[in-house]
Structure 1
């Protein structure tokens, strides 16, 4: 008896393998370091090391990294990073908004930091998206996808 696999299953498996290999290139320590560098001036020190704030932020950072890597496939078709970023604008906005909401909910005086927190959230998501895009483009150039 043969196992029947669909095209959707094959695509999902290929995407998971690609993401798994990309995640081997970046560590949680690097993402956490990026979080602390980006938000050190915005978040009070007593909150910066708390797991209830760091862990979801790492999840959003990983999502941004993988989103950039997935959009790097357009690099293969002649688009540069900026053009691919325009394609991903909605997803990037959603991730940045989620990051902003997470931080304003947990920080007692989140409204006081409003603009700075929004800008820092955009920078955090954007930086990790760029790193993911560059890592994915590198894998596509080396034909490792």
Structure 2
């Protein structure tokens, strides 16, 4: 008796393998370093090293990285990076908003810091999206997908 697999199962397995290989190219230390570089001036030092902030921030960073890598496939169809990024705008906005909400309670108080936190959240998500886009683009060009 044979096991019947569906096309959706094959696609999911291929996507998981692609993401697994991509995650081997970036370390958690690099994502954590990006977090500290982006939010160093906004988050008090005593909170910046705590796992209750680092762990969800790393999750959002990984999601941004993988999102950029997944959208890099549109380069094969003749789109530019800006066009691919405009396709992913809703997901990027959601990730940035999640990052903003996560860190809102832990930054210095004041309206000025809220604006700076929003900009820093956008920069964090965008930077990791671009790194993922570049890594995915490299894999697609080398036919490693």
TM range (shorter): over 0.9
1:33-52 CA-partner distances (Å, limit 9, x unpaired): 00000011111111111110
1:111 Cα deviation after fit: 5.4
| Match of residue 4 from structure 1 | 4
Q: Is 2:46 the partner of 1:46?
A: yes
In the alignment, structure 1 segments of 5+ residues that lack a partner are none
Contact 1:103-1:110 within 8 A present in 2 as well:
no
Contact 2:64-2:92 within 8 A present in 1 as well:
yes
RMSD: 1.2
Counterparts of 1:119 and 1:42, CA distance in 2: 11
Matches within 5 A, 1:1-145: 1-107=1-107, 109=109, 113-145=113-145
What is the TM-score with the length of structure 2 in the denominator?
Answer: 0.96
1:64-121 CA-partner distances (Å, limit 9, x unpaired): 0000000000011111111100000000000000000000134473756200000000
Contact 1:69-1:137 within 8 A present in 2 as well:
yes
Counterparts of 1:39 and 1:23, CA distance in 2: 23
Q: Secondary structure of 1:113's match?
A: helix
In the alignment, structure 2 segments of 5+ residues that lack a partner are none
Detail structure 1 runs of 4+ shifted over 2 Å in the superposition. 105-112
Counterparts of 2:102 and 2:20, CA distance in 1: 26
What is the TM-score with the length of structure 1 in the denominator?
Answer: 0.96
